[in-house]
Amino acid sequence: MEFEYNYDADGGIHFVKHGVTMDEIEEAFERGVLTAKNPVDESGKSRLAFSKVASGRFLRIVYRQIESDTLFIITAFDATKGDRTKYLPIWERRFQ
């Protein structure tokens, strides 16, 4: 599915501070993502997405789905060691 991506340019683009590009985020969703609840969001509005991009980076993307085809990107960064241990093998079985 193709998505439209939004982010808060006025508040600072958090994923850029972590060295992640918008191209990598788009690639992650195109290649396939594993999703999970965001444990630090008590409102339940944001989700986590995990995906490996062509460069080999395994990303953790925090986002909100605004509409069925629109995602608001909150931030993205290289997945933690714990994330890689838990989600990378599942991602590789499902999407590679």
82 contacts 68 by C-beta, under 8 angstroms = no
Determine the structural domain holding residue 72 and report its residue range. Answer: 4-95
State the total domains in the chain.
1
> In the prediction, which pLDDT does 12 show?
61
**Tens digit of each residue's pLDDT, the chain (96 residues):** 789 999 887 656 789 899 999 999 999 999 999 999 999 999 989 999 999 999 999 999 999 999 999 999 999 999 999 999 999 999 999 998
